[in-house]
Structure 1
């Protein structure tokens, strides 16, 4: 059965303990954690073992899980070998953090926009980096989930599936984000879902209106252009049984979205209805 988690992106005005309390109170099944030094509602990149134990205990005490850890490491495809090595090392630490937190997945940003004329070279470097990371992740019991994302190689469903295929490891999958794909112009959700479906290891749930030029306006689910009422049942029918995370973009769009509690409650209820998880109760 699909479980539903909330992303700490949704709670920029809360501390992490406050966010965990809120997610549990609203009825989510998990907490997707940001790993970055510039955002307090998450963990830092130099987090210590004792702090990780405290965070994990707080999450588990609320009956929640950590489905995915979200670092912002990007330059795993750059030509500068020292920079790329540093980024690989950063992701190796994130794998360690995921193990300490009991997280099943680490989000992977599929490199930066390649430099003109170096697309093939930088794609090869991306694949090489992931091939270095994959066996470490596998030994740790963690999957690396390559997200459909602007500003990376993974800008269509077919390309993202191709990245995973070229890496050739069961420990590298797809973080399926149909809203990002729509913004990027990959508008045939059925084709994008079909080509990625064998590889999907995590899902981000949000709605948007597309503004063009890789820009969007966030909307609460049901008021934007993403056909979630078709996508979520299709995922469930295909046997997907991992987490779907409500990626409520309050961090990036504080003035365009309703307050965190209100928005998250709406997104959770919408996901439950679409997945028929309400048990017949009126939400």
Structure 2
């Protein structure tokens, strides 16, 4: 299976992480739009974790310090490769203006701080959406024994859609499990750790250039902060699937709610003073990964 995929995809191997600052500068350059995702896969054959960086990430997201990676941490390595692919000349959409609408992470087993892994990133599943066009960025972290972590990040390119969106009634906020007060600088602090210095997260003035009245929190920070609330209760193998509903303005006060389901958990993040949903997610037992040749 892996050999066949490599024969179809154009593999670009990288010795290190691309510079996100250079990629954001590249994203500002004018470009046209297309209709086909590139048949390119970015690969880093060796990923090693810096203990100091992991500790800084754990602190900003609310995880305990330890020698295993939080389930969202590998996204720190995957995101620069996603950016590199989405700023390639043959990529069909400009990076600026795309919206991260969903993220699904599967941890097949805990990943130790001292492990060396290979990382692969590619784009696929271009499809219509009622608000434009969607596609997935697929990332896979593996060892010699097979995949240990996978991620599907779904992005929306706004434009002419496939039809009207379904309209529901006024949502009702559930009773909160916890109330979190998010400071105005959480976007800048997470940007220092993640390298994701998108202007919409850094300051009200730069956020207003892109249509936001204030800076907004990184979606992957909100997912990580929610998962930190489950630390010690998830076991070794699970899937965490979230939908990003509305941006979280900074500063703000948000309400977090979680409840048990049949085989896991469900959770939501709401604006504390009115029924505005920010994030909804589920945690379920993970299916075993396919092995080569199966």
Question: Above 0.5 in TM-score?
Answer: no
Could you state the TM-score of these two structures normalised by the residue count of structure 2?
Answer: 0.24
Could you state the TM-score of these two structures normalised by the residue count of structure 1?
Answer: 0.25
Question: Which structure shows the higher helix fraction?
Answer: 1
Question: Which structure shows the higher strand fraction?
Answer: 2
